[in-house]
């Protein structure tokens, strides 16, 4: 176990500020507060460079399902590196872990006879399918079907294509012009319904607005609709029952492909089911993108999974000119296989359901003034904070940022999301005692942040 002297810690922190451009960060805040350097992890806990222990309440960025520091993973990674770090998949080349993982994923997903294209991230997987959707319609000689419809508050990644489907304003500011022919509809955010309706008394306007949008753009111009079955970064938004059945019918009616972005949802995170979309019975997407939980973050890996129908159309063209050097990385695929074996062996999708319910019940029972709603599915949980519960009004400046800051001091990593929401998404192996500790810490943190806010006025 590493221990660092205060001199070493200072040097490392200085080097971080001097050399490391952090992803998706406020440089000003980083420079003011300094980096939080995590050096070690075990199970649901991580340890910083000063040796302080934290419950990893977010599993990094929603990615770790099996917990940190699993030696089974280290062992297969070592074996694979010693055998063959990787070999590429271009043209006729292939490698055994990629074949095995493709077969395993194809067997697990709800899309029958699917084909799996590997990437190294969720953004790459989404960029891949945006190109692939356009190539599909081109191959079908319907190449006006360029538009991809996304949803407000969606997060689909940050590469030039994926970020167009992401609809959180800060991710667009200053980056235009990006990829053309994207449009969006409102999110099925029941707590602050954009149509000011209340489920089940509404007509699921959120789902039917897809039909309106397709008609506005004209069906001959619309190629696909993309949705995270349970939205993550946009605020842990769970669409109402019936939502995706309507979406699927509308897509079928207008010959539009339905893409489920399961980058966070997949492999049991939403509890009880392996994939988020399975919570809406009978709905099968044409394409799924996956990442994060496929390796629990031990090595980077993503994938786009496509239906046989799409594959047969692409097959009719001479060559599919799209691939990354590390599409089908052997080490990543081998780790993915072992990770999925652990998820299945330990039945983590069911633990995710049980622990998610316990977490939501515990947080709801706190019944604190600024908690407007606690919601989620499995271990994707969000606490929607408000200044007034009766009229569901938001604070002018985020309370969640302060809550997360205080919780960190108390030994819990959580994350503020857009819209003043606190994200909780611990590893799927979490125990009851750890869930209860998260509830206890957050109760104290929310109380403290709220008292401070009320004092300031």
Ligand X SMILES: Cc1ncc(COP(=O)(O)O)c(C=O)c1O
Beta bridge mates, 149: 183, 225
User: Using CB under 6 A, which of 156, 269, 415, 437 touches ligand X?
Assistant: 156
Stretch that binds ligand X, among 149-157, 212-220, 317-325, 406-414 (CB under 6 A): 149-157
Q: CB-wise, 51 or 169, nearer to ligand X?
A: 169
Residue 291 in contact with ligand X, rule: CB under 6 A = yes
Instruction: Tell which positions 365-424 bind ligand X, by CB under 6 A.
Output: none
How many angstroms separate the CA atoms of 365 and 436, rounded?
12
How many angstroms separate the CA atoms of 202 and 33, rounded?
46
User: Using CB under 6 A, which of 105, 222, 263, 290 touches ligand X?
Assistant: 263
Q: CB-wise, 114 or 121, nearer to ligand X?
A: 121
Binding mask 59-88 for ligand X (x = CB under 6 A): --x---------------------------
Kindly report whether the peptide bond that precedes residue 143 is cis, defined as omega within 30 degrees of 0: no
Per DSSP, helices labelled H in 242-294 are: 243-253
Contacts of 35 (CB under 8 A, 6+ apart): 13, 16, 17, 20, 22
Distances (CA, A) of 420 to 68, 132, 187, 233, 385: 28, 35, 16, 11, 6
Residue 157 in contact with ligand X, rule: CB under 6 A = yes
For residues 359 and 258, is the Cβ–Cβ distance under 8 A?
A: no
Distances (CA, A) of 361 to 69, 347, 365: 29, 22, 6
Give me the residue whose beta carbon is nearest to ligand X. 122
Per DSSP, helices labelled H in 154-296 are: 162-165, 205-217, 243-253
Residue 127 in contact with ligand X, rule: CB under 6 A = no
Q: CB-wise, 23 or 180, nearer to ligand X?
A: 23
Q: CB-wise, 233 or 414, nearer to ligand X?
A: 233
For residue 340, the minimal CB distance to ligand X (Å) is: 18
Q: CB-wise, 189 or 254, nearer to ligand X?
A: 189
For residue 265, the minimal CB distance to ligand X (Å) is: 8
- Tokens, residue 184: 């969006």
Q: CB-wise, 254 or 258, nearer to ligand X?
A: 258
Residue 121 in contact with ligand X, rule: CB under 6 A = yes
Q: CB-wise, 155 or 254, nearer to ligand X?
A: 155
CB atoms within 10 A of CB 155: 25
Binding mask 227-256 for ligand X (x = CB under 6 A): -x---xx-----------------------
User: Using CB under 6 A, which of 58, 95, 123, 164 touches ligand X?
Assistant: 123
For residue 231, the minimal CB distance to ligand X (Å) is: 8
Site size toward ligand X (CB under 6 A) is 16
Among the listed residues 208, 192, 245, the one whose alpha carbon sits nearest the alpha carbon of residue 382: 192
For residue 232, the minimal CB distance to ligand X (Å) is: 5
Distances (CA, A) of 115 to 229, 257, 288, 311, 315: 20, 16, 10, 7, 12
User: Using CB under 6 A, which of 155, 182, 298, 326 touches ligand X?
Assistant: 155
Q: CB-wise, 422 or 446, nearer to ligand X?
A: 422
How many angstroms separate the CA atoms of 254 and 140, rounded?
15
**Site for ligand X, rule CB under 6 A:** 61, 121-123, 126, 155-157, 228, 232-233, 261, 263-264, 291, 302
């Amino acid at each position: 176990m590493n221990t660092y002297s205060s001199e070493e810690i200072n040097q490392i922190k200085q080097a971080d500020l001097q050399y490391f451009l952090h992803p998706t960060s406020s440089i000003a805040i980083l420079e003011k507060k300094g980096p939080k350097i995590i050096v070690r992890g075990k199970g649901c806990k991580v340890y910083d460079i000063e040796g302080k222990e934290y419950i990893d309440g977010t599993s990094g960025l929603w990615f770790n399902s099996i917990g940190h520091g699993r030696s089974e993973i280290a062992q297969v990674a070592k074996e694979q590196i010693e055998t063959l770090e990787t070999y590429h998949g271009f043209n006729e080349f292939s490698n055994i872990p990629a074949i095995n993982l493709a077969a395993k994923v194809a067997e697990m997903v709800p899309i029958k006879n699917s084909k799996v294209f590997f990437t190294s991230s969720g953004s790459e997987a989404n960029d891949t399918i945006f190109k692939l959707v356009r190539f599909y319609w081109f191959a079908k000689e319907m190449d006006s079907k360029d538009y991809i419809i996304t949803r407000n508050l969606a997060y689909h990644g940050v590469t030039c294509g994926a970020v167009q489907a992401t609809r959180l304003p800060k991710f667009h500011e200053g980056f235009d012009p990006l990829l053309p022919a994207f449009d969006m509809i409102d999110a099925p955010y029941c707590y602050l319904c954009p149509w000011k309706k209340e489920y089940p008394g509404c007509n699921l306007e959120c789902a039917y607005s897809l039909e309106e949008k397709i008609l506005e753009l004209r069906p001959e111009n619309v190629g696909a609709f993309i949705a995270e079955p349970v939205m993550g970064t946009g605020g842990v938004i769970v669409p109402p029952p019936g939502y995706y059945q309507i979406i699927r019918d509308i897509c079928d009616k207008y010959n539009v492909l339905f893409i489920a972005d399961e980058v966070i949802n997949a492999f049991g995170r939403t509890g009880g089911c392996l994939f988020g979309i399975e919570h809406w019975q009978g709905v099968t997407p044409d394409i799924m993108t996956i990442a994060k939980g496929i390796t629990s973050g031990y090595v980077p890996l993503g994938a786009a999974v496509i239906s046989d129908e799409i594959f047969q159309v692409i097959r009719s063209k001479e060559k599919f000119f799209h691939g990354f050097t590390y599409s089908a990385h052997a080490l990543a695929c081998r780790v993915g296989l072992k990770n999925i074996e652990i998820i299945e062996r330990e039945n983590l999708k069911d633990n995710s359901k049980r622990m998610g319910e316990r977490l939501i019940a515990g947080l709801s029972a706190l019944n604190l003034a600024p908690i407007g709603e606690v919601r989620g599915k499995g271990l994707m949980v969000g606490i929607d904070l408000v200044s007034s519960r009766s009229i569901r009004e938001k604070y002018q400046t985020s309370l969640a940022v302060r809550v997360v800051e205080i919780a960190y001091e108390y030994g819990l990593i959580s994350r503020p999301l857009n819209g003043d929401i606190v994200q909780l998404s611990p590893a799927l192996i979490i125990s009851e005692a750890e869930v209860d500790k998260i509830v206890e810490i957050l109760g104290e943190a929310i109380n403290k942040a709220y008292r401070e806010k009320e004092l300031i006025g």
